[in-house]
Amino acid sequence: MEEPNHNLLSLKVIKLLAENLGVETEDISEDDSFSDDLHMAPDKLADFAETLSASGFETSNLSLEELETVGDLAEALSSHEDIK
């Protein structure tokens, strides 16, 4: 069973990602690949990392090139965040 904090964090990441890409949140899932499904080039990922940071997420220890899916990002962030 997944942690409630992970689910909340995942929803926040998807919301920010949808805003960043100009799509609906329903169009993004945790299984979506940044490169294959969302068509995000490395520069778009870097821009999104800045969006995450500006939204209060700790991104300094993330290596976005190594994260393949939205779920991978949520998992990486959940290990650094204390969501209330």
Residue 83 has pLDDT above 50, yes or no: no
Give the burial string for 4-35 (b: 16+ CB within 10 Å, else e).
eebeebbebbbebbeebeeeeeeebebebebe
What pLDDT was estimated at residue 61? 83
pLDDT at 80: 63
> At the topology level of CATH, where does 4-78 sit?
1.10.1200
Spell out the residues 6+ positions from residue 45 whose beta carbon is closer than 8 angstroms to its own: 34, 64, 65
**pLDDT per position as a tens digit, 22-49:** 999 999 999 999 999 999 998 999 899 9
Q: Give the domain ranges of the chain.
A: 4-78
49-71 burial, b if ≥16 CB within 10 A, otherwise e? beebeeeebebeebebeebebbb
Q: The whole model's pTM is what? A: 0.83
β-partners of residue 69 are: 33
Quick check: helix, strand or coil at residue 37?
coil
Q: How confident is the model at residue 84 (pLDDT cuts 50, 70, 90)?
A: very low
- Given this model, what pLDDT does residue 7 score? 86
Task: Check residues 25 and 81 and name the one with the higher pLDDT.
Answer: 25
